Structure 1
Amino acid sequence: MFDKWPNLLNPLLGKKLRMWKRLGMAIAACLLAISCAATPLQPLRISSVIWLGYEPLFLARDLGYYDDAPIQIIEDTDHVGRTKRFLNGDVELTTTTLDGLLDIATLQDEMRALLIMDFSDGADAMIAQPEIERISDLKGKTIGILPSLLGRLVLTRTLESAELTIDDVQIIDIDSHQQEEAFKAKEVDATTTYEPVASRLRAEGGNIIFDSSQMRGEIVDLLVGHKDVVVTHKKEIEILLAGWFKALDYIQTNPDDAIARISEHVQLTPEQVRTALEKLHYLSLEENIAVLNKTDQESLDGMRKLAQFLEDRELLKDSIDPTQLLDARSVETL
């Protein structure tokens, strides 16, 4: 009788073993999922100067959109410091203009634009002392320019519009945090600048004799990083960009509060901010995808035109096709 028990028990034991095996696999899968979900976010550092086109980043931070993520936005007072910090690897991302990206790309390989932030349509300018009313009056004068490719771009466009050349003026480098003081002290007769400094210089009686509305599509602001950062910081960049577009929506749906917050940050009056914002075009998510996916032919042509202009005037060290620096991977995840 007893010798029959093993035959009776084997099926039961087999069934129990299979049940425990399946349970073990389920537990392992759950533990793996928990482990993956609990993977901590990596620090993501972004260097940026204060410019109205970048303000949605700071607004998103102020509204708490990044409170649950290790995202650090570092405010640099000058262009040189911002670029140096990025090239040294002290930050993963930086804000810059298209010409700035082209300049950086000549120094480091595999740089990419991950976000098209805005087009300047008057927010960058050449502002002159009250007694200077025309660009032709700049001949023989001292002009302060930003120590960047952007400063030289605006200067060149300004002078060429009046058939002047760089040889017709004296040039000194003055970064954005020094411009207001130099202008008040009349150390310069005119200076290239941008918002919010432009509004402050206008309040001092400065005349706008040229602005970026006369060079549409050439001053494009970008969020830039190495191509590998899209993989190494995928989730963090997704949070950063989601906050950016959420801040753009907030400006539309809660303009009074948004402008009040921006005003405090850039140290302008709300009315000055409202006026300055009219000189910018922030790109939507859909517009970003179109440009970064290289389906917006008009924007691509404008980028190539700018690169050719810089190359022809020997403002750019190497010949670079800017459209090859566009990367849509991050915006496509939103």
Structure 2
Amino acid sequence: MRVKRIMIVALAAAACCLALVACKSGGKESTAVQQGAQGKPPLRIAYSDWPGWVAWEVGIQKGFFKEAGVNVQFLWFEYAPSMDAFVAGKVDAVAMSNGDTLVNGANGKKGVMILVNDYSNGNDMIVARPGIDSIKALKGKKVALEIGLLEHLMLETALKQNGMKISDVKLINTPTHQTAQTLASGDVDAIAAWQPNSGQALKAVNGAKAIYTSADAPGLIYDTLVVDPQSLADRKEDWQKVVKVWYRIYDYIKDPAHEKEVLDIMSARVNVPPAEYATYMKGTRFLSLAEAKEVFKKGDSLKSLYGSSKNADAFNVANKVYSKPQNVDEYIDPSFTMNVQ
């Protein structure tokens, strides 16, 4: 159920002004929690519509932050405005992908990833018309996607895994929310999109098939909690508590006894039927504490947040999202996750 994860963040003052007001989703206003930690202002955390981030709602509604003694305020945004709010200093942290964290930093607002919620595990798809059953069959064909965004990176990865180059296909720059209708029009041979758009494309064309998904490249897209460095320095103990609460949330949502309650809470946040939301959960690979600790170890492969971020950085530079490579080490602090027992 991915909202638009924009690789190029507009930093214009007008956009920042729009970010001052959290957007509505499904008829619900921003969710705010202000509990515990007497005398301290709340840690302001912007979150948006992706299962790995909607899961924070479970901790909010179950009172986990109050029990942990940390004062937090979760603000519900659309994804792009959440990043704008972080850039404008209106929130202390934001739920953001690792690639977009680099984009923000390259444009002047660095944040530090202290928590990895999940990686996309099937919700992002390359959907092809009938008769195209593999990535190799895309050679010389038209593919609709938003150039420079994460689906562009996924297509490039898929082609590389099949011994092909991006020049082997013709890219048709298309807004993600229009990809399903573009495939249905017959003007292109395939599209790259995330849920619910990818699912809509499958429904729009009889016989259409997902020939590649993010499950074929685990770790290509990590979803994280990104914190302002000053807030991190000033409130280190409180941020440590937030990270610890996340793993309590993880344990709760992975308990089969809580499945119905969790789906009810999360689907209500985004106004989607629980049964439908369950399919989005399957396309999201939530990471256990042990798995997250492995992801935070340095490495060059997609199994490491460092390797994945270096891969995203190379893509961003090659596609002129920004001009100079970033030092990914400056964007990652594994200590908060490593300190959770």
TM-score under structure 1 normalisation?
0.70
- Deviations 1:15-43 (CA, angstroms, capped at 9, x unpaired): xxxxxxxxxxxxxxxxxxxxxx7413334
Indicate yes or no: 2:216 matched with 1:198: no
Q: Quote how far apart the aligned CAs of 1:110 are.
A: 4.4
Q: Quote how far apart the aligned CAs of 1:211 are.
A: 1.0
Residue 105 of structure 1 is matched in structure 2 by 105
Q: 1:332 to 1:197 in 2, by over 3 A?
A: same
Separation (CA, whole Å) in 1 of partners of 2:308 and 2:244? 25
Separation (CA, whole Å) in 2 of partners of 1:265 and 1:178? 24
Residue 50 of structure 2 is matched in structure 1 by 51
Separation (CA, whole Å) in 2 of partners of 1:184 and 1:91? 40
Letter matched to residue 85 of structure 1: A
Q: 1:181 to 1:89 in 2, by over 3 A?
A: farther
Aligned length: 294
Unaligned runs of 5+ in 1: 1-36
Residue 126 of structure 1 is matched in structure 2 by 126
- Secondary structure, in 3 states, of the residue corresponding to 1:222? strand
Indicate yes or no: 2:277 matched with 1:257: no
Separation (CA, whole Å) in 2 of partners of 1:291 and 1:162? 27
Residue 10 of structure 1 is matched in structure 2 by none
Separation (CA, whole Å) in 2 of partners of 1:142 and 1:288? 34
Q: Quote how far apart the aligned CAs of 1:156 are.
A: 1.9
Q: 1:295 to 1:309 in 2, by over 3 A?
A: closer
Residue 82 of structure 1 is matched in structure 2 by 82
- Secondary structure, in 3 states, of the residue corresponding to 2:77? strand
- Contact map agreement 1:120 1:216 (CA 8 A) in 2: yes
- Secondary structure, in 3 states, of the residue corresponding to 1:245? helix
Aligned residue among 313, 317, 322 for 2:323: 317
Aligned residue among 311, 314, 317 for 1:306: 311
Q: 1:225 to 1:166 in 2, by over 3 A?
A: farther
Aligned residue among 261, 264, 283 for 2:287: 283
Q: Quote how far apart the aligned CAs of 1:229 are.
A: 1.9
Residue 21 of structure 2 is matched in structure 1 by none
- Contact map agreement 1:47 1:82 (CA 8 A) in 2: yes
Letter matched to residue 150 of structure 2: L
Separation (CA, whole Å) in 2 of partners of 1:95 and 1:173? 25
Q: 1:189 to 1:244 in 2, by over 3 A?
A: farther
State the identity %: 21
Letter matched to residue 317 of structure 1: S
Alignment of 1:1-334 (within 5 A): 38-48=38-48, 50-66=49-65, 69-76=71-78, 79-108=79-108, 110-129=110-129, 133-135=133-135, 136-137=137-138, 139-141=140-142, 143-145=144-146, 149-160=149-160, 161=162, 163-166=164-167, 168-175=169-176, 190-205=190-205, 206-234=208-236, 236-253=238-255, 254-266=258-270, 268-292=272-296, 294=298, 299=304, 302-303=307-308, 306-307=311-312, 309-310=314-315, 313-314=318-319, 317-331=323-337, 334=340
Letter matched to residue 232 of structure 1: D
Q: Quote how far apart the aligned CAs of 1:323 are.
A: 3.6
- Secondary structure, in 3 states, of the residue corresponding to 2:55? helix
Aligned-residue CA RMSD in angstroms?
A: 3.7
Q: 1:63 to 1:289 in 2, by over 3 A?
A: same
Q: 1:164 to 1:272 in 2, by over 3 A?
A: farther
Letter matched to residue 325 of structure 2: S
Q: Quote how far apart the aligned CAs of 1:143 are.
A: 0.4
Q: Quote how far apart the aligned CAs of 1:228 are.
A: 1.9
Q: Identify, as 1 or 2, the structure richer in helix.
A: 1
Separation (CA, whole Å) in 2 of partners of 1:86 and 1:228? 13
Unaligned runs of 5+ in 2: 1-36
- Deviations 1:27-77 (CA, angstroms, capped at 9, x unpaired): xxxxxxxxxx741333413143x122323123333444457844123220x
